[in-house]
């Protein structure tokens, strides 16, 4: 055990001792039980987090409010255990237990909204910032489940499962309105915040944002059946703040020989300046759910549009500087119709049918000839359209055999059909005509799965949960995902868990089909990625306190990587007509890498002073290495931190005083995304990230039904682990690199009004 | 055909309401009963728990079997030994008669009896018994103690007026932890 690990454990033990003392006058056993979290994700049935066959943490709506949380990534970073996100100022990236796979668009985490998968069918992408696109006040709680979870959920659930559980109509009956404003403070190239002033030059650099929300819920009777309806609408937008970027001296365009043209907002041959127009987010979303008797219907419609203020390796590899029209956009329409009924004393039936419509658009304009196929002198606009539509059904039968033994069998069948369309166009800015770039593709594929789970408690202190899921996906063939878990209660308040689980991710339609005739050929025979994991944890509950320590080890195989074609493969692709004959460098997705990692999670949470004082600490430390399997040595993973965690404390003062919430997140120094392959003289590394979040919230006493919260974030770090600008790879040892700025400080104030309170 | 038949004829019993799992319900009840100042006297050395189920309602019958099994795993309820029995609800008068004859310390009302919660409460008025519901929505209808899930955590709901009518005297430290309605 490292010294850091020893210190962490010692701190937790000290906390345990202190909390025991603090509890002397409280109601012991009952407090323990009332502080249990009830989860439904690990085994698709209601159970306590303590007895569930997984390591999990729960973030409640109350915590979201008290700590000023306004997006899922904030909830993960400031409140959850074992997961962490990193923001490249567009769709944030997510990792767990030391594994963050940069540029994966979140497709190694399965995100559920009331059991409905939000990962889209084209690339498996999921979003964790505002792009989650779920009206925030509808969220009741968030279940964060760590580790492979394919046993009941299939593809994507490799790092874990995040389940957004919305409120019931009874919790929000009536009409409610939300108005929230925020402002991002601008910073200099050095990362220093610019001193506030009333000057117009300062005000134009601020990043104002706002969120408007409305909700409606009611319970009713129809046709003799009880029903309820809940609807949430939300619109979020922000523009800015501005960032000072570069300048990066690039030099001449390889085609024209003149200084490279980075567009009208940059000097010739130089990338950088003040990005005032190119950092924005816009998210309108609506989610509604109707329950009537045994039936339910859920509908979600949303859009996530965003612009990123710099070039990077992920979204804008090239493009004009500070062009706000260079942006991405996702749109969703999700429908689900379900039915649940207890058929007999033993048998429960659950049926769901669902349909998802999704599209993604990416637009990138570059005025530089060298960024465009064919060397068009005035540059080009690239446009990518990806569409993915899914229709599917899921049937589950649960058998409750012997209550004395808690013997339950769950059997399920899941089938879906997907239609994928991808269209990539490049428009010559001089002629407005499309360039002869061929890549359009369309595919239709199906996936079917059967799964079963058996729970069994031979004694009051021992529980087993054993299951397996067999998936057949036309994209990658078959996959078997078993899980076995044992839970032991060795003493009153204690719980020991032993879990073995596997998961997989079928290659996405994007990875299988994307090609553009100039940089990438379609992959052939891509297999599913797989992960195996073992973990053990011990926890102890006493009063309102819970202390947990767990160790894990996992093995990842067949990880999909973006590999450069060797000379032979390049020639073959050109002969086959997959690449233009003039191309000298191209890439393909292929299964190569393996990852091994191990480490520990630890958490402590509790409450004192009649639960007015609440506090928690979460720590994760992992050792992770990726083996590229190209003959080189295993390497550290980039972007994701090996050590990270969070701590929080809140105190609920007596009315009319507010509740005070303070949260802090920490991420140890991280290798930047191009640290290993960029070829720079010094390894690009982001310093440790420490961010504070302070929030005041409460009721506006003189207006019944009106609540407020206000607060701010402050990050001590100045950069994030992403290289920006045109220099993504070093030409020689003098090539400089620049790390991405981050939003160092934000302030917000919000009001929520519920009619009739 | 079998499926269609099952969907057509099976009685509706489920509701879209997150519930406290039976295992946790039993553990909670075992603790909460100790906060009733009259519980030990009422139990008279061995607490009888009658689990009231709706006859022919599959979910209700199943829950009854589950909660009986889970209560049976509790070493003590409210600090005393205990035994459980399932009773199929027929009428308020029959329930009153059963309670007067068997003198249960607790009547646990299973899901599926929501429409009967108020008649049950009326039937138990003046009877020395703690009535408990698996779901909180039965409490406003007259059941003394219920359980709900709030933000993913269990919460107690107590009907104080009904408690007094049934000689249940919860201690203030318990009321502080519960949502209390009058």
The H or E element spanning position A342 is strand A327-342
* Residues A398-416 pLDDT 10s: 999 999 999 999 999 999 9
- Range A471-483 average pLDDT: 95
* Residues B113-166 pLDDT 10s: 999 999 999 999 999 999 999 989 999 999 999 999 998 999 999 999 999 999
Nearest to A30 among B13, B31, B152 (CB): B31
Count CA atoms closer than 13 A to A676's CA, side-chain side: 16
* Residues A324-343 pLDDT 10s: 999 999 999 999 999 999 99
Of B62, B67, B86, nearest to B13 by C-alpha is B62
Greater model confidence, B110 or A17: B110
Distance between A707 CA and the closest CA of chain B, angstroms: 18
Contacts for A697 with CB less than 8 Å, ≥ 6 apart: A65, A66, A68, A658, A659, A661, A707, A708, A709, A710, A711
Of A420, A417, A424, A414, nearest to A449 by C-alpha is A414
pLDDT of residue A756: 80
- B:134-173 residues touching chain A, CB 8 A cutoff: 149, 151-156, 173
Q: Determine which of B20, B153, B170, B172 to mutate to test the interface with A (most A C-beta atoms within 10 Å).
A: B153
pLDDT of residue A7: 61
Say if the ipTM goes beyond 0.95. Answer: no
Q: What residues of A are in contact with residue B69 (Cβ under 8 Å)?
A: 403-404, 406
pLDDT of residue A55: 95
Distance between A608 CA and the closest CA of chain B, angstroms: 13
d(CA A332, CA A304) in angstroms, rounded, equals: 9
* Residues A97-116 pLDDT 10s: 999 999 899 999 999 999 99
pLDDT above 70 as % of chain A: 96
**Residue of chain B with shortest Cα separation from A493:** B27
Q: Determine which of A51, A169, A343 to mutate to test the interface with B (most B C-beta atoms within 10 Å).
A: A343
pLDDT surpassing 50 at residue A670: yes
- Range A304-308 average pLDDT: 97
- Range A406-427 average pLDDT: 95
d(CA B149, CA A51) in angstroms, rounded, equals: 17
**Residue of chain B with shortest Cα separation from A341:** B14
Give me the residues paired with residue A4 across strands: none
**Residue of chain B with shortest Cα separation from A405:** B69
Please indicate whether, in this complex, the C-beta atoms of B73 and A37 are within 8 angstroms of each other: no
CB-CB contact of A625 with A634 (8 Å): yes
Nearest to B177 among A34, A225, A293 (CB): A34
Please indicate whether, in this complex, the C-beta atoms of B58 and A225 are within 8 angstroms of each other: no
pLDDT of residue A436: 81
Give me A407's structure tokens: 């013997």
**Site of tokens 């399965």:** A110
- Range A191-195 average pLDDT: 95
Distance between B127 CA and the closest CA of chain A, angstroms: 26
Nearest to B21 among A46, A165, A296 (CB): A46
pLDDT surpassing 60 at residue A11: no
**Residue of chain B with shortest Cα separation from A63:** B151
Of A272, A252, A367, nearest to A318 by C-alpha is A367
Average pLDDT of chain B?
90
**Residue of chain A with shortest Cα separation from B6:** A343
Give me A47's structure tokens: 């159970």
* Residues A693-729 pLDDT 10s: 999 999 998 899 999 999 999 999 999 999 999 999 9
pLDDT above 90 as % of chain A: 83
Distance between A224 CA and the closest CA of chain B, angstroms: 11
**Residue of chain B with shortest Cα separation from A408:** B66
All domains in chain B, ordered by first residue? 22-181 (3.40.50.2300)
pLDDT above 90 as % of chain B: 85
Question: Alpha helix locations (H) across A503-658?
Answer: 509-513, 567-575
Please indicate whether, in this complex, the C-beta atoms of B28 and A291 are within 8 angstroms of each other: no
pLDDT surpassing 70 at residue A66: yes
pLDDT surpassing 60 at residue A176: yes
Q: What residues of B are in contact with residue A460 (Cβ under 8 Å)?
A: 73
Distance between B11 CA and the closest CA of chain A, angstroms: 7
A411 — phi, psi (to 5°)?
Answer: -125, 135
Please indicate whether, in this complex, the C-beta atoms of A342 and B24 are within 8 angstroms of each other: no
- Cβ of A119: how many Cβ atoms within 10 Å? 25
pLDDT of residue A701: 85
* B73–chain A Cβ distance below 8 A for any pair: yes
Task: Please count the residue pairs, one from chain A and one from chain B, whose beta carbons lie less than 8 angstroms apart.
Answer: 118
pLDDT interval class at A10 (50, 70, 90): low
pLDDT of residue A101: 94
Please indicate whether, in this complex, the C-beta atoms of A228 and B16 are within 8 angstroms of each other: yes
* A339–chain B Cβ distance below 8 A for any pair: yes
pLDDT of residue B1: 42
- Range A342-362 average pLDDT: 96
Please indicate whether, in this complex, the C-beta atoms of B14 and A348 are within 8 angstroms of each other: yes
SS3 A79: helix
pLDDT surpassing 80 at residue A641: yes
pLDDT above 70 as % of chain B: 90
Please indicate whether, in this complex, the C-beta atoms of B14 and A341 are within 8 angstroms of each other: yes
Distance between B99 CA and the closest CA of chain A, angstroms: 26
pLDDT interval class at A3 (50, 70, 90): low
- Range A644-669 average pLDDT: 96
Write the CATH number of the domain with boundaries A3-754.
Answer: 2.40.170.20
- A:366-405 residues touching chain B, CB 8 A cutoff: 400, 403-404
SS3 A481: strand
* Residues A479-534 pLDDT 10s: 999 999 999 999 988 999 999 999 999 999 999 988 878 888 888 889 999 999 99
Average pLDDT of chain A?
93
Of A132, A127, A47, nearest to A94 by C-alpha is A127
pLDDT surpassing 90 at residue A75: yes
Q: Three-state SS across chain B?
A: CHHHHHHHHCCCCCCCCCCCCHHHHHHHHHHHHHHECCHHHHHCCEEEEEEEECCCCHHHHHHHHHHHHHHHHCCCECCEEEEEEEEECCCHHHHHHHHHHHCCCEEEECCCCHHHHHHHHHHHCCCCCEEEECCHHHCCCCCCEEEEEECCEEEEEEEHHHHHHCCCCECHHHHCCEEEEC
- B:32-71 residues touching chain A, CB 8 A cutoff: 32, 35, 58-59, 61-62, 65-66, 68-70
What is the model's pTM?
0.94
d(CA B110, CA A403) in angstroms, rounded, equals: 15
């Amino acid at each position: 055990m490292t010294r850091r690990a020893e210190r962490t454990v010692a701190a937790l033990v000290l906390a345990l001792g202190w909390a025991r003392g603090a509890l002397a006058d409280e109601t012991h056993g009952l407090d323990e039980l009332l502080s249990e979290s009830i989860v439904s994700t690990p085994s698709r049935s209601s159970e306590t987090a303590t007895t569930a066959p997984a390591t999990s943490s729960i973030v409640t709506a109350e915590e979201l409010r008290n700590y000023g949380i306004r997006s899922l990534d904030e909830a993960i970073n400031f409140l959850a255990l074992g997961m962490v996100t990193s923001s490249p100022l567009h769709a944030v990236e997510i990792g767990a237990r030391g594994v963050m796979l940069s540029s994966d668009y979140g497709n190694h985490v399965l995100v559920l909204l009331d059991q409905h998968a939000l990962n889209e069918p084209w690339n498996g992408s999921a979003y964790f910032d505002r792009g989650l696109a779920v009206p925030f006040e509808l969220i009741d709680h968030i279940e964060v489940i760590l580790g492979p979870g394919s046993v009941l959920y299939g593809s994507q659930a490799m790092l874990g499962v995040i389940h957004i559980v919305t409120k019931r109509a009874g919790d929000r009956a009536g009409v409610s309105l939300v108005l929230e404003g925020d402002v991002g403070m601008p910073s200099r190239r050095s990362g220093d915040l610019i001193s506030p002033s009333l000057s117009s030059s300062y005000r134009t650099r601020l990043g104002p944002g706002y969120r408007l929300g409305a909700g409606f819920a009611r319970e009713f009777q129809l046709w003799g059946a009880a029903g309820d309806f809940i609807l949430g609408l939300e619109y979020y937008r922000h523009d800015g703040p501005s960032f000072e970027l570069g300048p990066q001296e690039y030099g001449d365009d390889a085609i024209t020989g003149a200084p490279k043209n980075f567009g009208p907002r940059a000097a010739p041959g130089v990338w950088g300046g003040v990005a005032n127009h190119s950092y924005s987010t816009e998210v309108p979303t609506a989610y509604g759910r109707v329950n009537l008797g045994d039936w339910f219907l859920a509908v979600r419609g949303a859009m996530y549009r965003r612009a990123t203020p710099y070039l990077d390796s992920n979204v804008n590899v090239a493009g004009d500087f500070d062009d706000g029209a260079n942006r991405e956009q996702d749109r969703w329409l999700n429908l689900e119709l379900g039915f649940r009924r207890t058929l007999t004393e033993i048998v429960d039936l659950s049926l769901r049918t669902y349909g998802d419509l999704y599209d993604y658009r990416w637009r990138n304009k570059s005025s530089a000839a060298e960024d465009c196929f064919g060397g068009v002198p005035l540059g080009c606009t690239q446009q990518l359209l990806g569409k993915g539509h899914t229709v599917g059904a899921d049937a589950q039968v649960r058998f409750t055999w012997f209550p004395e033994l808690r013997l339950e069998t769950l059997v399920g069948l899941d089938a879906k059909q997907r239609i994928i369309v991808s269209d990539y166009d490049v428009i010559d800015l001089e002629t407005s005509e499309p360039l002869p770039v061929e890549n359009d593709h369309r595919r239709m594929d199906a996936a079917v799965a059967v799964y079963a789970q058996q729970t069994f408690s031979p004694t009051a202190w021992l529980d087993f949960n054993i299951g397996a899921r067999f998936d057949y996906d036309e994209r990658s063939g078959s996959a078997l995902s078993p899980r076995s878990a044992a839970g032991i209660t060795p003493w009153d308040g204690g719980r020991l868990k032993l879990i073995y689980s596997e998961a997989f991710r079928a290659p996405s339609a994007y990875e299988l089909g994307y090609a553009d005739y100039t940089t990438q050929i379609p992959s052939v025979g891509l297999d599913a990625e797989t992960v195996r994991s073992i973990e053990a944890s011990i926890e102890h509950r006493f009063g309102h306190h819970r202390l947990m320590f767990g160790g894990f080890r996992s093995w990842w195989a067949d990880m999909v990587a973006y590999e450069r074609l060797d000379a032979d493969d390049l020639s073959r692709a050109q002969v086959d007509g997959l690449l233009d004959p003039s191309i000298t460098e191209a890439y393909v997705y292929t299964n190569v890498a393996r990852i091994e990692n191990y480490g520990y999670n630890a958490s402590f949470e509790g409450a004192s002073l009649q639960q007015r004082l609440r506090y928690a600490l979460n720590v994760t430390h992992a050792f992770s290495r990726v083996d590229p399997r190209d003959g080189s040595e295993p390497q550290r993973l980039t972007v994701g931190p090996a050590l990270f965690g969070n701590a929080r404390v809140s105190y609920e003062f007596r009315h009319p005083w507010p509740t005070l919430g303070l949260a802090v997140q920490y991420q140890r120094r991280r290798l930047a995304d191009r640290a290993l392959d960029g070829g720079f003289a010094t390894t690009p590394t982001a310093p440790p990230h420490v961010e504070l979040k302070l929030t005041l919230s409460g009721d506006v006493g003189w207006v019944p039904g009106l609540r407020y919260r206000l607060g701010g974030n402050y990050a001590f770090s100045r950069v994030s682990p992403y290289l920006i600008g045109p220099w993504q790879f070093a030409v020689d040892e003098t090539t400089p690199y620049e790390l991405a700025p981050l939003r160092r400080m934000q302030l917000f104030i919000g009001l929520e009004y519920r009619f009739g309170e | 055909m079998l499926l269609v038949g099952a969907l057509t004829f099976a009685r509706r019993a489920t509701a879209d309401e997150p519930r406290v799992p039976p295992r946790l319900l039993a553990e909670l009840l075992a603790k909460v009963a100790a906060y009733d100042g009259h519980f030990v006297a009422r139990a008279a050395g061995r607490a009888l728990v009658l689990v009231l189920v709706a006859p022919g309602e599959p979910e209700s019958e199943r829950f009854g079997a589950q909660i009986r099994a889970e209560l049976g795993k509790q070493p003590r309820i409210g600090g005393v030994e205990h035994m459980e029995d399932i009773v199929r609800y027929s009428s308020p008068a029959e329930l009153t008669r059963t309670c007067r004859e068997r003198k249960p310390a607790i009547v646990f009302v299973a899901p599926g009896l929501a429409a009967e919660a108020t008649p049950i409460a009326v039937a138990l008025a003046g009877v020395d018994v703690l009535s408990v519901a698996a779901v909180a929505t039965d409490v406003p209808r007259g059941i003394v103690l219920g359980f709900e899930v709030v933000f993913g955590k269990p919460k107690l709901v107590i009907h104080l007026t009904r408690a007094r009518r049934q000689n249940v005297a919860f201690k203030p430290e318990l009321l502080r932890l519960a949502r209390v309605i009058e």
